[in-house]
Amino acid sequence: MKIYDCIFLDRDGTINPDPGYISSIENFKFFDYTIPALKNIANLGNRFCIVTNQSGVSRGLIRQDALDNIHNYIEQEFKKFEIPLLNIYTCIDHPDNPSERRKPGPGMFLEAEIDHGLNLMDCLMIGDSYDDMKVGEMLGMDTMLVLTGRGQDTVEHLADYEMPTHIVRDLTQGSEKLCL
């Protein structure tokens, strides 16, 4: 069992299904296992940040106020279930014109490091994409690839030297692995 300084979570495909651009709160829902799995991990003494690319805003597919409503809902649910969420970091950059904040860039993680006094090398990145694994590896974090969302496709295209610290079916299996 390892307690991390912070566990960074990707959003779409990791904590919730990813049907494409989620443009309203009515279209957002957690995987059934998300809250229980995160609660188990939190009970060990871990805390979380969500780091999410949301280019749908810059593409005109998601309104900023709708994205804010979704993130307010996520924050309320974490609070209701006593899951310590430090912050939700969002990058709305279009992939054709990304800043360092857009994953796999380190910007959102460096902001979190400063905001919360984190040691990124004592953190874990959980996500379903190559970009999630790449940024975690680049910053010296442990990485956990969930096979939900794009995870199955991601694992099939990783080179042997790019393998994450952990590969798990979903957050439930991830929480079991972390609670050992």
CA distances from 159 to 71, 93, 103, 154, 175 (A): 34, 28, 19, 10, 25
Residue with tokens 């229980």: 36
* CB-CB neighbours of 169 under 10 Å: 13
The verdict on whether 12 is a catalytic residue reads yes
Per annotation, catalytic residue among 5, 12, 96, 131: 12
The verdict on whether 142 is a catalytic residue reads no
Task: Give the type of residue at 121.
Answer: M
Q: Tell me if residue 99 falls in helix, strand or coil.
A: coil
The distance in angstroms from the start CA to the end CA of the chain is 5
Per annotation, catalytic residue among 5, 10, 142, 160: 10
Residue length, the chain?
A: 180
Return all residues near 172 (Cβ < 8 A) that are at least 6 apart.
33, 36, 37
**Active site (catalytic) residues:** 10, 12
